[in-house]
Structures are given as structure tokens and as C-alpha cells.
Amino acid sequence: MSASHAGTVVAFDAAVGLGEVQRSDGRRFPFHCIELADGSRAIDVATEVTFVLLCKLGRYEAAGITRA
């Protein structure tokens, strides 16, 4: 099972459903809106979140995103 990470949403484009979260160490990870655990399809920039990392097509992406 993957470890949980804390971060902040730093970008989100509602038209395409893609965004980015940033951990406290500065690393950024992309995500798709289907990874929002509450079933919504949008999230505000600057929202504090927790997430796990999944490796998809050779790169890490944020998944299981929940509002902190």
C-alpha cells in the first residue's frame, strides 16, 4: 500500500479536468479529476489535500485525492 502525502493544489483546469498538486518538498504531481475521492470533478487552487502516488505510464501521478 502506498504512503499518503500532504500537498496543495497549485493548478486545475476544469475544462479538461487536469491539475497539479505540490508537496511541501516542492515536487509537483499531475492528476485527473477522476482521482478526486469525493466524486466531484473540480477542486479549487490552494486547497490543502492528501493523496497517494501511482506510477502510470512511467511517471508518478497523484491519486485518491481528499481535501485535508
C-alpha grid cell, residue 53: 502516488
Domain residues for 24? 5-67
Q: Domain total for the chain?
A: 1
CATH code at 25? Answer: 2.40.50.140
Alpha-carbon Rg for the chain, nearest whole angstrom, is: 11
Q: Which of 16, 47, 52 is CA-nearest to residue 35? A: 52
Tens of each residue's pLDDT in the chain, 68 residues: 469 999 999 999 999 999 999 999 999 999 999 999 999 999 999 999 999 999 989 999 999 999 99
pLDDT of residue 67: 97
36 secondary structure, DSSP code: B
